[in-house]
Chain A
Amino acid sequence: MDALVPLLVVVPFGAAFILVALANLPGLARRRAEGGESAGDLASAPGPRRHRVLSLLACAAVLANFIIALALLRADIGHIYVGGWGDEKSALGIELVCDGLAKLMVVIINMVALVSIIFSWSYMRRFTKVWLFEALFLLMTGAMNGVVLAGDLFNMYVFLEIAAISSYALVAFGCEAEELEAAFKYLILGTVGSAFILVGVTILYSLTGHLNMAKVHELLPAVGQTSPAVLLAAAALLGGLALKAAMVPFHAWLPDAHPSAPAPISAMLSGVLIKAAGIYALARIVFNVLGPTTEYAAILMALGVVSMVVGMFLALGQQDFKRLLAYSSISQAGYIVLAFGVAAHLLATGGDRNIAGLCIFGGLFHLFNHAAFKSLLFLSSGSIEQQTGTRMLKEMGGLTRRMPVTSFCCRIGALSIAGVPPLNGFFSKLIIIIGLALAGQLVLAAIAAGVAVGTLLMYVKVQRYALEGEPSGAAANAREAPAMMCVGLVLLAVVCVVAGLALLPLRDVVFGPAEDVLLGAAGKLTGGLTP
């Protein structure tokens, strides 16, 4: 089983390079060029058949990853050193840590990636150079897997950068003015965030002489948890990762970047990238590297609450479907960070570990659910945009009658995120709110409940304008989306329906190990280092 873990990174990276190579092989390239010339504007050039082969390859790579991720879920995995040029005592070297949290994240990432790539099978047909898209997509997926598997800070940073850079390119994939502008903003702000992270990593390295997270965690007390240098590193890491997680006030890139990308990429960005690169890394650093203190907990809680509230208000004011979804991602990510913050607070103050565990469970469950329903919503917004030609809610209407499958799935997603029982969003919000209340944070619990109402309102708006009533405006002549797009939507809708009732009882199997990692109950981050 251990040998499977590196494959999560190697398979997509390898597939990405093979894709680009195949697409640019002289023979193929020539034929494609001929096809392109002869067909001109026609889409049915010989090129597309080869595209299909390449797409199939990409799908196969992601599917393989998803299967590996599922297989790993119950596996007992030790420590994996890649490359052999560093041993466990060395400060350098690549260590992959496939603990409970990483396993959970890997499943989530590859689940969304699989659905997105299935969706893009039909969706991306209107773009040229689809193989480039697929290569970037695979790079991003592999890099996200790398982020959650990385056992040391520097590799985490490297994978973060790979994921970020491929996402910059993907946001700009359409090459329209709006997309380029969004990608540029995203690039600048993302780089600022990466710089923060790099500064933090560097300082920690200089203080401890190690990059390995477990080692750093072990050595930090000797340096002094409250020495200014550590605090600077902590601030830089928290700030940088909060930027990746799009917490207010670091969020400004997201509402431009997420809507501008092609729909499957929006789904990946909102569904998993901000979680893998942002929230996951934030939790990892706070819980497993710096160690939860009341100050870090306070920062997480503040970021969470402000993001929840501000994101909600901004989303409520939106008429653009995808921007609304993007703002609501900020708001929903706030829930997760808030839950983690409260858990960190409990751990730091010696509160009830069961309640801290409940908060973390709520956060992780919401993370999973949000990945499912936000991807679903972004994908359905893509379907709707493709079929109606607009993203503005007021220009649509009555889609239930024109696009029944898409509308049904969109409604499932909207109801899930709004927290309507018995869909999954209800349970994760319920658990978070109960957790907050049990932790003694009654005001935060009330705010969380209030934001749930706001979320409900914004998705009522979506349903009201886009789905209900007589088909009108741009929706009047819309037709149902192609089959592969519907397949992707239906898969995620099934996840949303099933996850609430089926996954909750599986807490011990699926979420339990991940909780233990953050609670510190699983021993050190890397047990192998301290036998």
Chain B
Amino acid sequence: MNELADQLAHPLLLPIVIAFVAGAAAYVLSRLWPMGCRLIALAASLLVLGSGICIFYRGDELVGWQGLTFGWHWMTLTPDISLTVNLATTMLGMVVVIGSAAFALLITIYSLRAMRGEYWEGKYYAYLIWALGGACIVGLAENLLVLLVGWEIVTLMLFLMISQGPRDAKAGGAKTYGILGFADACLLLAVALLATLEGGSANWSLSKVHDVGSLGSLGYVIYALILVAALAKAGAIPLHTWIPAIAKDAPTPVMAYLPAALDKLLGIYLLATLSLRMFVVDWPLRVVMMVIGAVTILAAVLMAMMQHNLKRLLSFHAVSQVGYMVLGIGTGTVIGIIGGLFHMINNAIYKSNLFLMSGAIRRATGTDEIENMGGLARLLPVTFVCGSISAVAISGMPPFNGFVSKWLVYQGTLQVRQTSPPLAAALVTVAVFGSALTLASFVKVMYSAFLSPAPKGAAYVTDRPKESVFMAVPMIILALACVILGLWPGLMIDNVLAPVVGAGADDVTTANLAVQTDGLGYWSATQTTGLILIGLLLGLIFVFLFTWKKRIRVVRPFLAGEVAGEADDRWRVPGTHFYETIGKLPIIGALLKHGEAGAMDPYHWSQRHGNTFVQLLRRLHTGLISLYVAWALGGLVIILIYLLLAART
């Protein structure tokens, strides 16, 4: 018993235990005392964040990165296979833990306003904290089986949180659980297959390196299974469809927390662990990953441009950005991997912030449809500024963080030219083009929501909604993070990501890395920012000079005599139709149309074909006893014939 107590007091268990206990407390109190649940959620995410940071620093100073470990042998299944709980700190794992806790804290603050008064508010906090606990398990796991447990807990919490939305949310929730459950099963199967390799359950260790090629086809199968799990969680094509499906109806904080932030961290963490630690990846697999990345970037951003619903639009961008991460990690080059991982962090920050922005807009206007928004820049200045920073960051414009990571990914992809020049050229083109389309898409959003004239007769114009402090604070923090990481990317790259890659990348040492980052891949953020600011200032001066003392005249549209009334909204240009043309292009348009209808959605296919099979089976069950007796007799005869034939040979 004492031993157990000692084990439970282990520092690595601390964040996990805190999260699960706090979640349970919040769940129990959910109906009785919502205020208590809020406090518990705040305290728990703070404590997890604090304990994560403590582990991070203690691990660094005292025992080194691989030193702080926890191992508990649970039970032996066969001499080779034993179930053990192994935890260890890794740099990237700690990024996941601390990042998840930070997001949990910010989202909790945001939810204090956004979720107040929801009937399931208490449970919401319980799920949120449990999801954080699951993420901590994943981040700290040293064993694939332990990771799987955390992984599935996060999936479950996502499902529970989505399903509480309005009626349509439940279909999306089911789809999400279907796709992610499939991913979980792939991971489970990978666990089982790894156990068949020489050494049994020792193969579950994340730090044991396997060579994909030398394992033969089984190695590829295992790799592919884990890859599917990682990509589905992160939301890469073709397993991305759950994100757009839930975007409209799931509560906004949930979208900002899980699909935008946590699931990206976890999915890309697993992808990086898989490709950098567990397996030595060969060229064909890297090509597969890079192509998946590139296709994801382009296809999702095209879909995003067509959307009229803000949250759905953001969800397609959430998919598109995953492409950069997969592409970066798939390159296998040091810079590419750093770029991919940095993009994971950056994307979590600005994408979460954009979802928070959409929540603030919805709270003010009561709508997610971009057509019905407009003129919000004056009403919601904080949201506008924070949202703009995030939008510019996601579009990959300097000097924000999104640019830095995309730049690194481009550089990493360019290095692929040493192996295959045409591929490198194609991939970089797609990546840059995708970034440009992202910008185009956000021009539409920012214009329509904030800068265009407000729709006449919209209730919010007269109500004049105000910003909420609880909702503004997380957005400001995240926007600041975008700026800081953009101006001083070295904070993250030198201190955190370079060691990660130095420990596991192909054949490039950290020393080599320093040269490359200084030379080809890196860029000087401060210098550029100065130039950009000067450019902006000049632009402003020009604008000021040209409009100074010029009066702007507003006239009604000329309608050949017909009188356009004050409230006539027909002449407003909402900006949602900016890119309708894309939908009318010969090939792409058709693809997008079918894509929207689910032609590229494995869930949709399996539902359809599965249903055909189910109907066939159901038609066989006619309810006639004679038929059923015939089946039983038939079964008996088959068994008998089989036995007799087998006995003869």
Contact = CB atoms under 8 A, between A and B. Distances in A.
A357 B78 contact: yes
B195 to A, nearest CB: 5
Max chain A Cβ within 10 angstroms of own Cβ: one of B149, B177, B185: B185
A232 B640 contact: yes
Nearest to A357: B78
B163 A249 contact: no
A449 B188 contact: yes
B119 A401 contact: yes
B181 A464 contact: no
B279 interface: no
A421 B134 CA distance: 11
Interface in B301-328: none
B189 A433 contact: yes
Interface stretch (B264-272, B341-349, B413-421, B624-632): B624-632
Contact of B642 (A243, A295, A354, A505): A295
A480 interface: no
B597 interface: no
Interface residues of B, number: 65
Contacts of A188: 625, 629
B172 to A, nearest CB: 10
B646 interface: yes
B164 to A, nearest CB: 7
B195 A434 contact: yes
Contacts of B74: 504-505
B148 interface: yes
Interface in B578-630: 610-611, 613-615, 617-618, 621, 623, 625, 627-629
A299 B642 CA distance: 9
A185 B624 CA distance: 9
Contacts of A101: none
A485 interface: no
A196 interface: yes
B192 A437 contact: yes
A365 B31 CA distance: 35
B143 to A, nearest CB: 13
Contact of B196 (A232, A313, A442): A442
Nearest to A461: B174
B177 A460 contact: yes
Interface in B154-180: 156, 159, 163-164, 166-167, 170-171, 173-174, 177-178
B119 to A, nearest CB: 7
Contacts of B17: none
25 contacts: A189-B625, A238-B639, A239-B635, A239-B639, A250-B632, A252-B627, A295-B643, A295-B647, A314-B621, A316-B610, A317-B618, A430-B188, A433-B188, A434-B81, A437-B192, A437-B195, A442-B196, A445-B193, A449-B192, A450-B185, A452-B188, A453-B178, A453-B185, A460-B174, A460-B178
B454 interface: no
A358 interface: yes
Nearest to B187: A449
Given A236-B636, A314-B618, A464-B170, A189 B189 contact: no
Contacts of B628: 185, 189, 252-253
B81 A438 contact: yes
Contact of A457 (B145, B178, B196): B178
B163 A469 contact: yes
A355 B159 contact: no
Contacts of B189: 433, 437, 445-446, 449
B614 A355 contact: no
Contacts of B635: 239, 242, 249-250
A255 B632 CA distance: 15
B189 to A, nearest CB: 4
Interface string A440-451: 101001100110
A235 B647 CA distance: 13
B119 A231 contact: no
A310 B119 CA distance: 40
A317 B614 contact: yes
Interface string A494-530: 0000000000110100000000000000000000000
B636 A235 contact: yes
Given A421-B149, A430-B191, A464-B163, 17 more contacts: A185-B628, A189-B628, A228-B647, A249-B634, A249-B635, A295-B643, A313-B610, A354-B79, A361-B77, A404-B31, A445-B193, A453-B181, A460-B174, A463-B163, A468-B164, A468-B173, A505-B75
Contacts of B80: 354
Interface SS of chain A: helix, strand, loop or mixed? Answer: helix
B263 interface: no
A404 B123 CA distance: 13
A460 B159 contact: yes
Interface string A329-360: 00000000000000000000000101101100
Given A192-B632, A452-B185, A255 B621 contact: yes
Given A456-B178, A469-B167, A189 B632 contact: yes
Contact of A421 (B152, B173, B186): B152
A294 B646 CA distance: 9
A188 B631 CA distance: 13
A504 B327 CA distance: 42
Nearest to B156: A420
B621 to A, nearest CB: 7
The 8 closest A-B pairs by CB, nearest first: A317-B614, A252-B628, A239-B636, A235-B640, A437-B192, A226-B647, A354-B78, A456-B181
B644 interface: yes
A87 interface: no
Contact of A252 (B153, B192, B631): B631
Nearest to B629: A192
A250 B644 contact: no
Nearest to B74: A505
Interface string B6-25: 00000000000000000000
Contacts of A256: 623
A415 interface: yes
Interface string A197-241: 000000000000000000000000000001010011011101100
B617 A317 contact: yes
A310 B634 CA distance: 17
Interface in B56-108: 74-75, 77-81, 83
B470 interface: no
A244 to B, nearest CB: 11
A295 B649 CA distance: 12
A84 B632 CA distance: 39
Interface in A130-185: 184-185
A363 interface: no
Given A231-B640, A299-B639, A464-B174, A442 B77 contact: no
B220 interface: no
Given A299-B639, A445-B193, A421 B621 contact: no
B182 interface: yes
Given A231-B647, A232-B640, A457-B181, A464 B173 contact: yes
Nearest to A501: B74
Contact of B615 (A317, A420, A433): A317
A447 B628 CA distance: 26
A317 B611 contact: yes
B617 A469 contact: no
A438 B170 contact: no
A192 B75 CA distance: 44
A450 B225 CA distance: 12
Nearest to A236: B636
Contacts of B119: 401
Contacts of B75: 504-505, 507
B148 A421 contact: yes
Interface in B112-166: 119, 145, 148-149, 152-153, 156, 159, 163-164, 166
A2 interface: no
B219 to A, nearest CB: 13
A417 to B, nearest CB: 13
A436 interface: yes
Contacts of A460: 159, 173-174, 177-178, 181
